[in-house]
Amino acid sequence: MRFAHLSDPHPEWKTVAEDHMKNEEKLSYLYDLPIEEFRKIPYRPPPLSVNVPQPGQHLQISERQIRVRDGTKISLRIYRPMMTTGNHVLFFNIHGGGWTVGMPQTEEGQNRLIAARNEAIVVSVNYRLAPEFPFPYALEDSIDALKWTQSNARLLEADPSRIILGGGSAGANVAAVMAQIARDENMSGIIGQILNIPVTCHPDHFPHSKYEGNSYEQNALAPIVNAAKMHFFWNNYLPSGEAHPWNSPLLSKSLRGLPPTLVQVAGMDPVRDEGIAYAEALMAEGVDVKLKVYAGMPHAFYVYPDFGSSLEYLETMVEWVHQVSQTTQSTQ
């Protein structure tokens, strides 16, 4: 029970907890709707901080469509610094949303901030969503988008030898798997990965004999994403329930040789322990890991963008991207 204390609500969270739970109760019916009705409810990305970089002043934002392996067109949202030099570090992001909801704007604040502050080219992929498109669609769409991005790096004014993979929640799950596949397939250019509040293992297959894994029980009724919602998301993405390293990266036989990694974990989160377990597994295999834990904060607490913890969460990413990009030299 090493991590039980991390579930104690943070004082900052307590300031909004009552109102937040009232709003959640009003929307709880959504998860009981048939998918056809669920899809009719407009998705609203999280609000942005009052200090978020603005398009036209601090960065440029554009959209582009590409074709993936089955011929389907999907979109990319591309963020660029105002002044480009042709050899920027590339941050490739896979958005969160339980593989079932979400869009690139789910992590709009971080994408704008990294483009503006790190002078990075940020590409966020709008992959197809479950349950209409279950595993492995999110993974394969993201891989195809990454390959397109690397092949068109000159067009994007990015350096194909300096790519940082990133994602939040379900997106972090996909990013972690992509890093493993890139290693196994000798795909060059991946210099780091950012795994925010990551989902790393199907709950029915978590290796309790190796890692502490009590957060599903300790945070069963947590706000924003509770245990029931995580099961809902997993049932949509992986209806067979058969775990594989390509959907549960914690189950990989080896994590050796993966790039430097930033892992950010929320303490009051059902997936807390699998995030910590993945960080520990990476460390055990010699990977350079920075683990940051936000005690007493729920999953995706950045939906309150002006919390001190949310600002620290974003600043940690900016600083980490700067450190990793500075240790590599551009090849262009």
Q: What is the 3-state secondary structure (H, E, C) of 33-52?
A: CCHHHHCCCCCCCCCCCCCC
User: Does residue 20 carry a catalytic annotation?
Assistant: no
pLDDT in tens, 11-38: 999 999 999 999 999 988 988 999 999 9
pLDDT above 70 coverage of the chain, percent: 99
The torsion angles phi and psi of 142, rounded to 5 degrees, stand at -70, -40
pLDDT of residue 327: 84
Taking residues 71-97, report their average pLDDT. 97
User: Does residue 19 carry a catalytic annotation?
Assistant: no
User: Does residue 88 carry a catalytic annotation?
Assistant: no
Tell me: pLDDT of 242 over 70. Answer: yes
pLDDT of residue 1: 80
Q: 124, 142, 161, 169: which one is catalytic?
A: 169
Q: Cα–Cα–Cα angle for 195, 261, 47, nearest 5°?
A: 30
Q: 142, 159, 299, 310: which one is catalytic?
A: 299
Contacts of 78 (CB under 8 A, 6+ apart): 61, 62, 63, 64, 121, 122, 123, 124, 156
Q: 159, 269, 273, 325: which one is catalytic?
A: 269
Taking residues 204-220, report their average pLDDT. 97
SS3 136: coil
The structure tokens listed for 135 are 């595993």
Please, what CATH class does the domain formed by 4-39+63-326 belong to? alpha beta
Beta 261-268 vs 158-168: how paired, if at all? unpaired
pTM above 0.75, yes or no: yes
Q: How far apart are CA 240 and CA 202, in angstroms?
A: 11
pLDDT in tens, 245-297: 999 999 999 999 999 999 999 999 999 999 999 999 999 999 999 999 999 99
All structural domains of the chain with their residue ranges: 4-39+63-326
